[in-house]
Chain A
């Protein structure tokens, strides 16, 4: 009897179809408008220029928007693109083909991660453009503050975008894990949001674990800290200077950390989805 091995090709086909669905549903359009809002917002900032630190402020705003709206996009897109298959019963036809359920989960994951990649790349490029334009203006206004040339390292901005994307990939994997056993889209979105908050505050739990006096706080803190990823790891240092760039080894470590969480969450999602009734 011939076997049907796991096929990355089929997973990629599902990912491509998922990405196409997101694109044609104009899910991204909303976020494109948002990015446009960012540019307009930056233009409004012109009214209270405060020299070189303003660029740092702009970058913080940009990454803040990327983190917040990116998280909203990651959770909503995962829930929407997963449940559209279940609720419209397209998963019925798809899984009646010689397709592994693991291929379905991996395909959905890669598809939404690709959506997140588009989002992060777009916002990073826009942020770069805004910074470049504002930097030029400030240089003309305060030439003495920029005696050694520009202060913005665009490599750092790109790295910041990359780290945001890695973080969103982890969030997509976690949301997919929730979706794999959740009965409704709403539950997935709400739970995904809580997961996002917990991951952002995870370092507090870690603190509690190491410093708390009470047995309870220590155990709860330790439990949370060991299950949820720490999203603070994906933030850049407080500088846009190339001199303050994190060492490559650190970036690689963070990327592996993200990949590890994605792999574990996807594996658990496959496990939960394995026997799900379609």
Chain B
């Protein structure tokens, strides 16, 4: 096979492929079954930022655990870069941040990242500089030598990101990275995801706050009670091609009437007039961000 053909083939291998995934949990009592994931089929192309959305208990975390080989699917199959999830090799190119992560309390942040880096086969002279680099990236340089047991929730989330990023994986799986994180932290995570995307990484991110990650995702899938109810490119799903919003300086009443007449003369109608509002989290970001810088 020529180099050209093989590179084309590898480009076509999706980062994540889930086919017909079903996961039943037995709830113990009287052998009752709970279907957490119901015939889910998904495909995440390499280089995309993909959002897996849905309310609490819709099966997002279960899907991710099955994808990482941490759970045995009841039916169906998952693969990462074409390698079936059951195999250890499938996890080589993956960084994973679990939902509300919790790490070895007895280690310092730096020791923790070093441990996971070495578990990924890293070592040698570059290891320490790489650890410093990721600790700086997540903003934990100052707290690096403190015990993880003393970390706040936001810091746990960040040290979790550091261990997920340390071996520079091609695929990042972030389970609810913004849950319980303040707007500043959320903005930092969003920023990080965009940086990773710019470097050609694939990011699979889950959230129950549907709006929060809409801005960064290329594509989203929405789950409800284990079933896929909507899937597509964000721009297709939320953009309304037949509408436009114009933002102008405040118009006095008479000019507004003129505008309406102008539009009416062309057979069009002004639908809504409203004062655009900034979002509270944006105000928070502006104020707090400035003080911090």
Contacts and interface: CB of A to CB of B under 8 A. Distances in A.
A82 to B, nearest CB: 14
Nearest to A6: B88
Interface string A166-207: 000000000000000000000000000000000000000000
Contacts, number: 76
A100 B94 contact: no
Nearest to B120: A97
B115 interface: yes
Interface string B191-204: 00000000000000
A65 B25 CA distance: 45
Most buried by A among B72, B88, B98, B103: B88
B116 A93 contact: yes
Nearest to A96: B96
Most buried by A among B70, B92, B119: B119
Chain B interface main SS type? loop
B101 A98 contact: no
A10 interface: yes
Interface in A2-61: 2-4, 7, 10, 13-14, 17, 20-21, 24-25
B106 A92 contact: no
B98 A89 contact: yes
B216 interface: no
B284 interface: no
Interface in B88-131: 88-89, 91-92, 94, 96, 98, 101-107, 115-116, 118-121
B71 interface: yes
Contacts of A96: 68, 70, 91, 94, 96, 98
A243 interface: no
A194 B160 CA distance: 40
Contact of A275 (B68, B72, B102, B105): B72
B118 A93 contact: no
B118 A13 contact: yes
B188 interface: no
Contact of B92 (A94, A95, A98): A98
Given A1-B83, A90-B104, A93-B101, A99 B119 contact: yes
A4 B88 contact: yes
Given A88-B102, A93-B98, A20 B107 contact: yes
Contacts of B71: 277-278
Interface string A85-124: 0001110111111111000000000000000000000000
A14 to B, nearest CB: 8
Contacts of A93: 96, 98, 101, 103, 116, 160, 163
Contact of A98 (B104, B107, B120): B120
Given A21-B106, A96-B94, A98-B121, A13 B89 contact: no
A89 B98 CA distance: 9
Contact of A17 (B69, B83, B104): B104
B91 A25 contact: no
Contacts of A17: 104, 107, 115
Given A92-B70, A277-B71, A97 B106 contact: no
Given A96-B94, A97-B120, A277-B71, A1 B89 contact: yes
A220 to B, nearest CB: 32
A278 B65 contact: yes
A88 B70 CA distance: 15
B69 to A, nearest CB: 8
Interface in B216-266: none
A128 to B, nearest CB: 31
Contacts of A89: 98, 101-102
Contacts of B83: 1
Contacts of A24: 106
A138 to B, nearest CB: 45
A57 B106 CA distance: 40
27 contacts: A1-B82, A4-B92, A10-B119, A13-B118, A13-B119, A17-B104, A17-B107, A21-B104, A24-B106, A88-B102, A89-B101, A90-B104, A92-B65, A92-B98, A94-B119, A95-B68, A95-B69, A95-B70, A96-B91, A97-B91, A97-B120, A98-B121, A99-B88, A99-B119, A275-B72, A277-B70, A278-B70
Interface of B: 65, 68-72, 82-83, 88-89, 91-92, 94, 96, 98, 101-107, 115-116, 118-121, 160, 163
Closest 4 CB pairs of A and B: A24-B106, A96-B96, A278-B70, A98-B92
